[in-house]
Amino acid sequence: MIANLKLLLIAIELLFVTFSYAQKPVLVIHGGAGNISKSHIPDSLAVKYKAKLSEALRAGYAVLERGGTSLEAVRTAINIMENSPLFNAGKGAVFTNKGTNEMDASIMDGATLNAGAVAGVMHIKNPINAAIEVMLHSPHVLLSGEGAETFARAQGLEMVDASYFYTEKRYRQLKKAQERESETQGYISPWLNDFKFGTVGAVALDKQGNIVAGTSTGGMTNKRFGRIGDSPIIGAGTYANNNTCGVSATGHGEYFIRSVAAHDISALMEYKGLSLREAADEVINKKLKEMGGSGGVIGLDKNGNITMTFNTNGMFRGYIKQKGDPQVFIFK
């Protein structure tokens, strides 16, 4: 009888320990940083953005709450943003100089440091899913162009006609960019600074304490020459490491590549002892800014602390933690 009672007490204690140590899940997302001011985004549009960000957060967080992996949460949240024409990823991707939509995406698993990415894909409905397949089912990290599509098709991913990605709004942006370009007579375009960058990204921490970060984008309006930005580059646009943090970036990709921004945030935490917020501030508001690079990052650390740091005047962003409601923001 007493032995049984002891066993019961031990069982209760074990349950308690398990619950108190189980990581509280956290999800943080972005839908792009840039010149996003109230004059660009009327209230009616802001409502739509906030609703879609909230939907992505709720759906991703539901995965985490029922014990799902951070990988599934990131995929779920990003798929919702990829499927919305509000963001520059999947449906809603910007147009290249040739009038095509060429998308990039990447994913990294902080538990294994495994990673996957695709660049310049034109027929994969959800590029982040292709990045995940590369990570899980190939010996490679980065696949590009038609080869990446052949791989995605073989993995059974949903493929779509290129026309699926056509949106009137993005096409007008291309035409506007090309008009301004011909005025400035060159592709080094000063108008770039006027532009919103609508890359999407998500970073999740699951109950098992694993961090996953993912990013998906249509790149830069009017891009040419097979330009690849930071989004499919591990260390630049995406990085995750259970020992430090997970990060997804958005902005003028070339600067994020040159400053190896996402990995630099992790390195500042690991080697210099900075907090996630301090590290993100150092990279986004100091290093990147001094180089002339604009954009931002979202991230979270292994304890569930988050950051949403940007040096532009707006970033579509939000987070959700501890059964709370989604917290979503647009302007500074």
Structure tokens at 51: 């609703």
User: For residue 215, what is the enclosing H or E element?
Assistant: strand 211-217
Please report how close the Cβ of residue 139 comes to a copy of itself at its closest, in angstroms.
5
Closest CA relative to residue 81, chosen from 224, 199, 176, 213: 199
Q: How far apart are CA 134 and CA 232, in angstroms?
A: 12
Please report how close the Cβ of residue 148 comes to a copy of itself at its closest, in angstroms.
5
- Does 259 bind a copy of itself (CB under 8 A)? Our answer is yes
Name the segment binding a copy of itself (CB under 8 A); options: 34-42, 210-218, 264-272, 297-305: 264-272
Look up residue 193 and give its DSSP letter: G
Residue 308, C-beta contacts closer than 8 angstroms, at least 6 positions apart:
28, 30, 296, 297, 298, 315, 317, 319, 329
Whether 199 is catalytic: yes
Name the segment binding a copy of itself (CB under 8 A); options: 74-82, 106-114, 297-305, 313-321: 106-114
- Does 146 bind a copy of itself (CB under 8 A)? Our answer is yes
Q: How far apart are CA 155 and CA 49, in angstroms?
A: 32
Name the segment binding a copy of itself (CB under 8 A); options: 53-61, 175-183, 210-218, 256-264: 256-264
- Does 144 bind a copy of itself (CB under 8 A)? Our answer is yes
Q: Which is nearer to a copy of itself, 80 or 257 (CB)?
A: 257
Beta-strand pair 26-34/314-321: antiparallel
- Does 138 bind a copy of itself (CB under 8 A)? Our answer is yes
Q: Which is nearer to a copy of itself, 25 or 301 (CB)?
A: 301
Q: Which of 55, 72, 178, 187 touches a copy of itself (CB under 8 A)? A: 187
Q: Which of 115, 124, 174, 306 touches a copy of itself (CB under 8 A)? A: 115
Sole residue written with tokens 């800014």: 289
Given the residues 69, 76, 96, 199, the one annotated as active site: 199
Q: How far apart are CA 318 and CA 316, in angstroms?
A: 7
Please report how close the Cβ of residue 283 comes to a copy of itself at its closest, in angstroms.
11
DSSP string for 232-280 = TSBTTTEEE-TTSEEEEEEE-HHHHHHTTHHHHHHHHHHHH---HHHHH
- Does 111 bind a copy of itself (CB under 8 A)? Our answer is no
Please tell me the count of residues contacting a copy of itself according to CB under 8 A.
48
- Is the Cβ–Cβ distance between 138 and 131 less than 8 Å? no
Q: Which residues are catalytic?
A: 199
User: Which residues of the chain form contacts with a copy of itself (CB under 8 A)?
Assistant: 108, 113-115, 119-120, 138-148, 150-151, 187-189, 192, 224-229, 233-236, 239, 253-254, 257-260, 263-264, 267-268, 270-272, 291
